[in-house]
């Protein structure tokens, strides 16, 4: 293995390139306060983030209660996948966008997709998206089906997971009532 040596540290060029790539992809990790007023302790707020899965699907948090998350550049910006919105407890309308590969086809939501849920203080949530499998799904009150223009006739499903319990949480409809 060839590399560059400096004193006692020897770093191979391929390893250095990989480390640089990982650092560049992760440098955008940020927590964004999405409520008015002074900072509050974690026990008085909740967090919500998107995700990046092994099947190459990336979800980013685009807005909270229709207010855009600052600094979000979506198209092709993998480094923004780690943005976590710090939110107040209570009913929250979270806008997301997603990008990814389905087989060999690249898919991208061109409009913001919204999902509403009741955030609890001290909890950490993650919003996920997948192609609807087209069969009955357990606990439909935890899923939102959406049609995305230009992405075929099969709907996509959006859900929110409580990261501590790994459970999908109930979603709310526009009036704030639990979805059915």
Per-residue pLDDT tens over the stretch 134-178:
655 566 778 887 776 666 667 778 899 999 999 999 999 876 666
Give a yes or no: residue 148 inside a domain: yes
Q: Are 172 and 178 in contact (CB under 8 A)?
A: yes
Give the sign of the dihedral formed by CA 54, CA 112, CA 124, CA 31: positive
Give a yes or no: residue 177 inside a domain: no
pLDDT for 10? 45
Residue 28 has pLDDT above 90, yes or no: no
Residue 146 to residues 24, 109, 118, 151, 158: CA-CA distances in angstroms? 33, 11, 20, 11, 8
Give a yes or no: residue 140 inside a domain: yes
pLDDT for 12? 46
Q: Compute the mean pLDDT over every residue in the chain, rounded to the nearest whole number.
A: 76
Residue 32 has pLDDT above 70, yes or no: yes
Lookup result for tokens 């998206």:
129
Give a yes or no: residue 146 inside a domain: yes
Give a yes or no: residue 25 inside a domain: no
Entry pTM? 0.74
Question: In angstroms, how far is CA 38 from the centroid of its own chain?
Answer: 25
pLDDT for 91? 97
Give a yes or no: residue 152 inside a domain: yes
Most confident of 2-11, 17-26, 77-86, 109-118: 109-118
Give a yes or no: residue 8 inside a domain: no
113 pLDDT band, cuts 50/70/90, is confident
Domain range spanning residue 106? 30-172
- Total structural domains within the chain: 1
What span, in angstroms and rounded, lies between the C-alpha atoms of 60 and 168? 18
> What does the H/E/C string look like for the chain?
CCEEEECCEEEEHHHHHHHHHHHHHHCCCEEEECCCCCCCCHHHCEEEECEECCCCEEEEEEEECCEECCCCCCCCCHHHHHEEEEECCEEEEEEEEEEEEECCEEEECCCCEEEEEEECCCCEEEEEEEECCCCCCCCHHHEEEECCCCCCCCCEEEEEEECCCCEECCEECCCCCECC
Give a yes or no: residue 3 inside a domain: no
């Amino acid at each position: 293995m060839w590399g560059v040596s400096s004193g006692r540290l020897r770093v191979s060029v391929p390893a250095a390139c990989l480390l640089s790539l990982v650092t560049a992809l992760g440098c955008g990790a940020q927590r964004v306060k999405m409520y008015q007023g002074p900072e509050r302790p974690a026990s008085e707020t909740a967090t919500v983030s998107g995700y990046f899965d092994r099947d190459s699907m990336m979800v980013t948090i685009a807005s909270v209660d229709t207010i855009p998350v600052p600094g979000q550049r979506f198209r092709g910006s993998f480094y923004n996948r780690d943005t976590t919105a710090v939110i107040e407890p209570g009913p929250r309308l979270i806008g997301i966008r997603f990008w990814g590969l389905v087989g060999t086809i690249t898919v991208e939501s061109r409009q913001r997709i919204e999902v509403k849920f009741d955030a609890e203080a001290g909890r950490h949530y993650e919003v996920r998206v997948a192609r609807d499998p087209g069969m009955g799904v357990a606990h439909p009150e935890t899923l939102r089906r959406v049609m995305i223009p230009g992405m075929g006739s099969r709907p996509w499903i959006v859900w929110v997971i409580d990261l501590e319990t790994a459970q999908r949480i109930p979603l709310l409809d526009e009036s704030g009532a639990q979805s059915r």
